[in-house]
Structure 1
Amino acid sequence: MLLNASQASSLSKSSMCSDLSRLLLDIFVRFVHHQSECIVRSSLLGFLTSLLVTCASAQVAGFPTTDLSPLAPQLQRQQTESQLRGEQMPSDNVVRASQYHVGPGDVLVIQRLDALAQEEYATVTPENLVLIPRIGMIPVAGMTLDAVRDTIARLYRQRTPNIAVYIGLRRVRSVYVTVQGNVLFPGVYTVPASMRLMTLLRLAMQGNTPQQRTEPEMQRTVQRAFGQIADLTRDEQLLWRDYEFLPPASLRSIVVRHSDGSSEVVDGELALLQPDSPANPYVREGDVVIVPREQVLDQPRITIQGAVARPRTTVYRAGDRLSFLLKLGVGLLPESGAIWLVQGGERIPVRADAQMNLLSEDRELLPGAVVLVERVRPSVSNTGSVRIIGEVQRPGAYPIVQWKTRIREVIEEAGGFTDRAALGLAYILRREQDGSSTLVSPNPYLERLRRLQYTNLLPEDTLRFFIDELARRPLVACDFRACFERGSEDDNVALADGDVIVVPPSPQTVFVYGQVAKAGFVEYAPGKDAEYYIARAGGRTELADHGRERIIKGRNGLWVPLQETTVEPGDRIYVPHPPDEPLGTKLQRLSAYIGIAGGLSGLVFSILSLINFLRTR
């Protein structure tokens, strides 16, 4: 078996110590059984006794005997790997030894800086005991990692005071924690013991499995009940944007019941502000987390509003102070102005830095207290810029005066169009001007339903409306050909800040497809009609539905009959198949025809019978 340098060095030291011990013991036995009474024998016996005691002391003090069997290193490595084997769950933060409670399943690493300097692992047993090499079992129930570390180090110092010992947490255990109450996904969770309470509650609100996270009905429930604004209308966003992932009343009164019968009440607001502190405790095995079902409107509140990063309304708790409420706002926005505390009929000025650290007196808050951060509106500028992309001489960004600079001026400043520019396909993109960019994108389905709230459309029109809404693009109404070739002033539109002007290159082709012999691109020929391109594509097949062909315009996708428009580069010509009808529909139509024919024949027979009757009289 091959050994590396460190293994060979360790084995040589241990071998030398063991061989020396055996040699000294053999010499000692020989001298004891010798019959001579000489002074030399007595001196040698004393010397050998001293050597044996010294060797034994050295082994106890840090030179442990090593099994020289070639399987020993492999067995030790396998034992270490078995302790660390298994899937490791992700952790949400660094473990703080002063806050983390050691429990069954935690793996400790111990390193003694002796001659071998090897790492040894110790796993906490289900009885909350840990077996320390050459020390024995020690109880660790209810102890933090700092306390366990100090206890083990003290025991080693008592045994070998001259050898330094280092103890750490090699791997955290997994624990079962129950979440109950006002959460979307209550139940039992398997999480690492290094996870803190607020991270666990986020899992209970978002779902712990892909199936939970994709159920639309459950997602709508959490958004409505707990203030998630990602799928609400714009009005609901404005009303509920102050919510965190839990209602404020529930967030400030979270109860954690431990397996030993003790319990604690956690202030979730404080835990979110100080996520790495004892305010946001680690979970333990057997914990039951109870999120109360309370209504925020039934309790007094405190609020911070205005030019802050996170406007917030939460439930008032006795002892809340001004510094706490400021921290809920996270930070001041650049446009922030004076800060005021309004409570008890007073309006008190407040000083704070950009990180919302209080610089003035830290007052105790009263129920209903409000911190207002004034917003200084910047001076409005009418200047802006637009971008030009595509076939102009100098594409890029250009300054404009909003709603005054016209499209012709900007194109002229860009050097005009290139020879490859396709004016029939050019367009202008513009941002929505309803202020929605400051909010989370609303649910487009709900927004379309709101637009249909007072409609008088028929059901068939409603389907068409939804199709048009899905295909809607933020375009500016401008015909580039009319503007630049025919001098139309109506199409010489004024530009707004952020507009994007796109001038694509001319494709020089027309695409013909559907029921034609050779579907594909056909080279554009100026002045030719649609029949020319259909013929170039091999002509219509026998299955073509003549008369229903359409030209699909390249710029806006409109479907136009062949005789109502001219063909331009980038257009598409579609030759459809006759509508497919199920056999049942055909039979129903045939039955209707037969019924009509029967009715007509009966009517004719009745008329003839009447005429014949009148003649006979």
Structure 2
Amino acid sequence: MLNKTLRTRLSFQLPRLIMLIVLMAFMGAGLSGQGFNANDLSRLRSSDISDAQLQTIIDRGEQEGISATEAINLAKARGLSPSVANELLKRAETLQSQADKPVVSQQRLRKELVPAKIADAANLSDTLVAEEMVGPQIFGSSLFGNRQSIFEPAMNIPTPLNYVLGAGDELIIDIWGATTNFYQLQVGNEGSVTIDNVGPVYVHGLTMEEAEAKIIEKLKLLYRGLRSGQADQTTYASVSLGRVRSIQVTIIGEVKTPGTYTVSSLSTVFNALHSAGGPGKIGSYRQIELIRDNRIHAVFDLYDMLLRGDQSGNLRLNDQDVVRVATIKNRVEVAGHVRRPALYEVKDDETLAQLIEFSGSFNDSAYTRQVKLIRNSETERMLITVPRSEFDSFLLTNGDVVQVDKILDRFSNRVTIEGAVWRPGDYELTEGMTLSQLIALAEGVMPDVFRGRGVINRLSDNYDFRVESFSVDKLLAGEYDLALKPEDHVIIRSIHDMREERTIQIGGEVKNAGLFQFREGMTLEDLILMASGFKVSASEARIEINRRILGEAAPAKRGTKLAETYVFGVDRKLTLNDEAKTFELRPFDQVYVRPRPDYQVQRSVRIEGEVLFPGEYTLSDRNERISDLIKRAGGLTDEAYIKGATMLRQSLQLSRVETEVDLGMDLTVEKPKSNENFVGIDLDDILASPGTEDDLFLRPGDEIRIPSELQTIRVSGGVLREAEIRYTEGKNLKYYVSRSGGYTQSARKGRAYVLYANGDVETKGSFLFFSSSPKIEPGAEIVVPEKVEVGSLSPGERISILSTVVSMAAIVITAISRF
């Protein structure tokens, strides 16, 4: 039993081993030309095998059922290096992944042998690139220039009855009924198919219809029930074409890629021509010859298919046919306003009318009365004008250029009306048409028409515009009329167009102040209503109206009055009195509603720090002072540091407050501006003497800050270390500077100053040989200014200044010497 199993496995694996050996022999044979031994692959490198050779080995292995991995393993057994084997395996996997494409397999679908061009030309479908034409395109060239278009013969169609069988075709014989069978036979080189138990049947040169009849007659000898057309028929048979054979055709002449091609036997002249890239630049599209048995079998005119879809001349090819594209004889250009401007090939007897038909006829804006044609003579060019009546008889020659012009951008019978009519626009000018008839076509004039004058912009004989005026009022009354001419432009204005836009303005204490359109009969009450009424702050006693003074057209002298002013009052309920109700406004009036003098929106100040009730307080009086606010806040707490109290005032309220300390020369301490400014106050004096000049009046937004007791002194500026130092009573400025490390080299010792907690500033003083330092209090800051570093001049700068001074001195001396 074991021996039987072993023999079975060996019998199953033996063919595969044989195929592997054959494959490696094939590999060795392919490499033997490069100096390698098929039995010794130890010197083989990956670079010695090209991608094409590797792909050929893979394809051969797939045909024999051997994978790339199995082939590489066998190559290792023959001495191939493992690293080279792995590299070859990776390359094989890459090639396979690039070549993998989804394949739809259908058992009974007709298949075509892969067409391939033989001879010296490369694969056209991959390498042929459409040539870019400079200038006008050749009609039909885009059909061959777009390589994405596929014009291959349809394979899965019913077999044509006139299809002639030949060697390489595959016949499918299907038998069903009382007896079933299936044959898939290929026509051999001798022209016959061999049927089991029947023998060879010669079908070469027969059509499918003839071959089917002949084969079924032969099958009747084998199947008794196969009696076509008889009542006792029990077996049926059909013969169809499976895989078609490939044929070789030669394409010559003026094509882009001439040569010999392998194509399907169902291919036509056009299929072969498309495979070769189509006619070249001087190739004919209308003289494509099919040469069979050394004589011209047919001539294919590609224009018949392109323009009319007629494929009667697109014949099916036979093996060894020759397709020849002749050189073009007559080519003309159609340019301008046609639907398909291009270069066209014409025959000797074709006319201009046929050429215009080739180009898709005239487009919508073409001038069709005549066309211009440029023709080459033996010595020069000449211009020919061809009228429309000669299109059908005018013959074309090689090199003609047909130019179709555009119609003029003008109207022969147009008049236009605009302005105060109901339907302005363009109208047809009929014979004898008048201005009143045009106004009637425009549905008449509007009620606001300006009746004094209208104008007609008329085109004169020399194509210059001139103006003709008319009275609209008299025209409408029928007193006279005007005849119209082509391109007349009638303008009738509205009274609103003839005057300045009339507006009226209201401002002040109304909800929506602004500019409004003036209306006749508008009163002050109407305008206030349009402005959404009064605000609460509006004064009940004063509404002011300022009216424009028009003046006289030609006064003796200019007046001094600039406007007329009217003032009206309202009651407490903000209703107008009778005089205001009857007062009519005029265009350009300016109305202003004044606010109540005592109307105030609540405004507040704030106090923070050491008071009993800190927070925000509303000002109750215009003359409320700092002392009043402290009283309202419940007074100071026991921890309050009075000397450190400060007041912050918004910059909009106090735009002049700045702190500048003169330090001598041009050096001034400048602090960046902010929205808040510190105002120095002496709270001790304020509380001791309320109401004095130190007790400032409060303004909205003010903020009083009263800190608790401060215990440090800050030292900054020109010291070695800026620091916060504990306050020691009785110590002076020098003490705190020394506690900060002393002065720096750039410090201006004599200009040191003290900034107190309440915002006051005091500088060091001097008298004769004596100097005094400001008193130091808790919370103060000692600021030591630093010298401004001025860079020294470079040698070049010094030379430049010296030369300037010398030049100026020379000029001065020269000027003095002349006097």
Same-fold status (TM-score > 0.5): no
Give the TM-score normalised by structure 2.
Answer: 0.26
Task: Give the number of the structure whose alpha-carbon radius of gyration is greater.
Answer: 2
Judging by fraction of residues, say which structure has more strand: 2
Tell me: higher relative CO, structure 1 or 2? Use CA pairs within 8 A at least 6 residues apart: 1
Judging by fraction of residues, say which structure has more helix: 1
